[in-house]
Structure formats: structure tokens, C-alpha cells
Structure 1
Amino acid sequence: MAVKREELRHARERCRCLRFLQKGVAWLQPGAKEASVLLDGGERGTISILLDVLKALEKDDLVSVREDQVALTAAGIACARRLAAKQEPFASQHREIERRVLHQAAQKRFITASLSESPLAQLANRRMRNGKPFLTRAEFDAGERLRTDYTRGQIMPRLSASWMASVSGKKHGSGAGGGVELTQAALASRQRVDRALVAVGPELAGVLVDICCFLKGFEQVEMERGWPVRSAKVVLKTALGVLARHYEPPPRRESGTARSILHWGAQDYRPKLA
């Protein structure tokens, strides 16, 4: 009987954790009890969760724990939708997920874009007064591409040990060979993120990371940065435009033709024939 109660308690904890993380990422904090941790969601509040439950969710690939940050994986997002859907739960998990193709030079790259999990996706559904989408397809794809590379670049082989040490309060570091421990795919993703943020510049890189990668809301970004209300959307669109040009540079115009050469001279000027 006691085992049955424990299983039910763990099931309830799993559901509560998934529903909480469905609204955004959270930060790990030490819990009051040794067997529990706190998930700090900022404005969304804080919940206490059993440490074993969180470890089980990570093992099942439903949550991703990077140092002290916890977020749902793609499988976790689908599972949370099934829990939230009252009817047709398995159909609901796929309704707002779209498979997109990004063209880069002669190569094609596939990404999975969720149309409801991030502020960027929600902004892509909005339209301006003239009826046109607020974000172009290229701008939205650029933001999703940055988020995909950022997520893949955070993959660490010793992930559990890192966040366990962080919660327990022990000091830890990546060590001198931290970069070597990354997989080749994760290292390449991290390098692509670095190049993209350098190309965008420090003035616009921060808002891209906050909204596209950390999935922060626009109001939260404006409050943290001291910006006027509704300004984050405009700054984000500008940043996404620069990012899109970095990923897909416009073709260069051919130069050196005779028509592009101009010469200023007097009214009776005549060119000399060599």
C-alpha cells in the first residue's frame, strides 16, 4: 500500500513539473529538504519537486538540465500537451509543430519549429495593420535556427553530475579540457552561435539570446533592460533581420561595367581616343 502511494505521489510530481515547465524555463535552487529541489520560474513563482522525480524526467528525456537551468525537451513539450489536452491528447501534441527546411548554400537543413512554445513563435503569428505578418519567414527561420544551435551546443556528456553538484552547493567547473569533452556536433553548434552573435553585434545579440534561446517573455525583457513598453518586439525584429542576413547573405551585384563609370567634364568636353 505504501509503495502504491509513493508511485501516485511521483506521478503527480511529474505532471506538476511538466505543466510548470511548459510555461517556460526555470532555475534550480536548493530545496528545504534534502530529497527535494526548487524550480524558480521568476514571475511564474517557485515550486518544490522531488529530486528523484527530476532525475527520472531527465533520464526519460522529458527535461533538459544545463547547469542550473531546467527546460522541457521536444518530447517533454509533447508530453505536457497531452497532459493539458482534455480531448484528443495525442493529436494535440502535434498541432502546432511544423517541420521546416532551411537552405544554406547548396545544402538543406531541417529544423522542427514549434509555433507555441516560444515568444518568437507567438510573434510570428501576429500581423500588422496592413495584414502582413509582423515577422518575415526569413526572420522567423533565423531565430529558430539560432535556438536550435544554442540548444545543441549546450549538450554535455556529464550533464547530470554538473547540475547535481550545482544544487548541492559544491563548486564545479568545466576544467581545462571542457571544450574537448563536447561532442563534435555540439561544438560545431556552439561555434555557429558564436559567429552569429558576433555578426549581429553586442547591441542586438542580448535580445536574441533572451527571447530566442532563453524563451523570455517580451515584458520580462523590457523590465530587465529598462526599455519602454512594447519596444522589445521592434528591437527583436531588427535583430532578426540582421541575423537572417548573416545566415543568408544577399547576392552581390556585379560591378565593373561601362555603365557604372561616370565622368564629369565641361559642356564642350570630348574624350580622347588612345
Structure 2
Amino acid sequence: MAAFKEEVRHARERRRCLRFLQKGPAWQQRGAKGGCVLLDGGERGTVSVSLTVLGALEKDDLLRCSEGRVVLTATGVACARRLAARRDPFRGQHWEIERRVLQQGTEKEIVSATLSESPLAQLARRRTRNGEPFLTRAEFDAGEKLRADYTCGQIMPRLSANWMATVAAGKRGAAAGGGVELTDAALAARQRVDRALDAVGPELAGILVDICCFLKGVEQVETERGWPVRSAKVVLKTALGALARHYEPSSGARGDKSRPILHWGVENYRPKLA
């Protein structure tokens, strides 16, 4: 019985340690109890872990200890995701889902972004030579907003038959034909997509649809379009910048009345006062 309780306690400590390290690395400190250490996560606080559990996790290749720094391995990250998933833990292990709040003017929309399958999210993790993110938050949010509207507008082509609708009802191909069954929300999403793609122009709209909506990788886009290697990233960033300005016009945008009016005149020109 005592051995069973000890096993349960160690399993609980393993879960607690993995969940704590899932949010970031920690540093070892001497614990108050013998045979225990404190993992200091800075603003996240501390957690007490026994040396036995810590050693077992390192032996199982779930974490790595180096010069007092403790960090999860790739296997440990997958295990922590599986433990944190309430439903379908094995899907949670491989999916990296993040909820984001996208704002357009005064309207806010919460979307779920699957970062593990999104080429845009993979680009957002990359850094420039200066250590700055390759994509700004505004550019990434603009791409996710376009993807959410594209999906909500049911623009994605259906790859299989709609067996839910009967042949007699005449609705089997209605959704694919152009919007007989579309709701008001779907129609509004389609209109937002049309306005966004018109704003960026036909030269940049194609790569936005390919990467943001159809989730094509940059290498695939370069191959299909015959572009040079690593050129799709540059074009995509330019397109996302134009898309972000469409969704959130800056204060210095054209047409802003707060912008000073400039006038070009010849030498010795004097304006007339009305």
C-alpha cells in the first residue's frame, strides 16, 4: 500500500513538473526539504520537485538539465501537451492550438489558430539577423483574419459529395455552386475577403490565398510559380503588410484629415488667404 501511494505521488509530481516547464525553462534552487529541489520560473513562481522524479524525467528524455537550467525536450513538450488536453489527448499532443483575438475597428473576433499546421505561424517564429521576428504581430493577425473569413465564407472547395442533402431536395451541389445555403455571416465574410483582396491588389492577393487560406508552404508556392528560392517569404511579408494596413489603417494613411496638406509652388509663390 505504501509503495502504491509513493507511485501515485511521483506520478502527480511528474505531471506538475511537466506542466510547469511547458510554460518555459526554470532554474534549480536548493529545496527546503532534503532530496527535493525548487524549480524557479521567475514570474511564474516556483515548484518543488523531488530529485527522484527529476532524475526519472531526465532519464526518460523528457527534460534536460544543464548548468542549473531545466528545460523540456521535444518529447517532453509533446508529453506535456498530451497531459494538458482534456479531450482527445493524442490529438492535443500533435496540435498546437492557440486562441487569438482579432480586431477590426470596433469589432473583435476570437479565432483558433492551429500553429503546427499553419505556414504563417512557422514564419512568425523565425527571426531576422537582428533577432527580431520575421513577421510583426499586425502582419500575422492580418493573415489569420483573412483565413478566418475565408473559412467562414465557405470559399473552400468541397472535395466530397454532400450526402446529408437528398437528391430530391436539389441541394446536394448548392453550397458549391455559389451560395444558395449561405448564411448572412458567411456572405458578410465573403464580402470582407473580396474587399481585402481588392485592397492588396491582384499581384499580392494570390500568395495570400495560397499560404494563409490554402495553407501551402512557401517552398510549394515557389515551385508552382517558378519563383527563386526564398523569394516567397519576401513577397508574402509585403502582401501581409498591405493587408494589415487594410484591416487597421494607420493614422498617417491617405485620406486622414489630421495629416498636414502640402502644396508645391514655384519660387516666390505666396498663398492667397480667403
Question: Equivalent residue for 1:133?
Answer: 133
Deviation larger for 130-139 or 103-112: 103-112
Deviation at 1:265, TM superposition (A): 4.7
Pairs aligned (count) = 181
In the alignment, what sits opposite 1:91?
84
User: CA 1:273–1:109 in 2, change beyond 3 Å: closer, same or farther?
Assistant: closer
Q: Does 1:250 align with 2:250?
A: yes
Q: Point out where structure 2 has 5 or more consecutive residues left out of the alignment.
A: 1-77, 86-91, 166-171
1:10-39 CA-partner distances (Å, limit 9, x unpaired) = xxxxxxxxxxxxxxxxxxxxxxxxxxxxxx
* Deviation of the 1:224 alpha carbon: 0.4
Deviations 1:75-114 (A, max 9, x none): xxxxxxxxxx566524262883222222222222222223
**Residue 138 of structure 1: how far off its partner (Å):** 0.4
Aligned residue type for 2:213: C
2 CA distance for matches of 1:163 and 1:229?
Answer: 43
Corresponding residue of 2:197: 197
Amino acid at match of 2:233: K
- Matching residue's letter, 2:194: D
SS at match of 2:132: coil
Residues 229 and 254 of structure 1: CA distance in aligned 2, closer, same or farther (over 3 Å): same
Deviation at 1:178, TM superposition (A): 4.0
Range 143-152 or range 105-114, more displaced: 105-114
Q: 1:142 to 1:272 in 2, by over 3 A?
A: closer
- Provide the rounded CA distance (Å) in 2 between the counterparts of 1:190 and 1:162: 21
Specify the alignment match of 1:225 in structure 2: 225
Q: 3-state SS of the aligned residue for 2:179?
A: helix
CA contact (8 A) 2:175 2:181 kept: no
Contact residue 155 and residue 186 of structure 1 kept, 8 A: no
TM-score (norm 1): 0.55
**Structure 1 residue 231 displacement after superposition:** 0.6
The alignment partner of 2:133 has SS state of coil
Structure 2 CA distance for partners of 1:175 and 1:114, relative to 1, 3 Å: closer
Structure-2 separation of matches of 1:176 and 1:117: 25
Contact 1:142–1:247 (8 Å) recurs in 2: yes
Matched residue SS, 2:224: helix
Rounded to whole Å, the distance in 2 between the matches of 1:163 and 1:178 is 18
Bigger Cα Rg: 2
Distance across 2 between alignment mates of 1:229 and 1:247: 30
- The residue identity in structure 2 corresponding to 1:91 is A
The residue aligned with 1:115 is 115
Instruction: Please give the per-residue CA displacement for 1:243-273, whole angstroms capped at 9, x wherever unaligned.
Output: 111111112544686x95676555xx99999
State how far apart, in whole Å, the 2-side matches of 1:227 and 1:176 are.
Answer: 32
Contact preservation (8 Å) 2:147, 2:212: yes
Aligned AA for 1:194? D
- What's 1:37 paired with? none
Superposition deviation, residue 222 in structure 1:
0.5
- Whether contact under 8 Å (2:174, 2:180) holds in the other structure is no
Name the SS for the 1:129 alignment partner: coil
- Change in CA separation of 1:206 and 1:176 when aligned onto 2, cut-off 3 Å: closer
Matched position secondary structure for 1:103: strand
- Larger displacement relative to structure 2 (140-149 or 185-194): 185-194
Aligned-residue sequence identity (percent) comes to 72
Secondary structure, counterpart of 2:205 in structure 1: helix
Q: What's 1:104 paired with?
A: 104
Answer yes or no: is the 8 Å Cα contact 1:155–1:182 preserved in 2: no
* RMSD between superposed Cα atoms in Å: 3.7
Are residues 238 and 175 of structure 1, via their aligned partners in 2, closer, same or farther at CA, if it must alter by over 3 Å? closer
- What is the aligned partner in structure 2 of residue 210 from structure 1? 210
Displacement of 1:176 in angstroms is 11
Residue 229 of structure 2 aligns with an amino acid whose one-letter code is V
State how far apart, in whole Å, the 2-side matches of 1:271 and 1:246 are: 35
Task: Indicate the SS of the match to 1:112.
Answer: strand
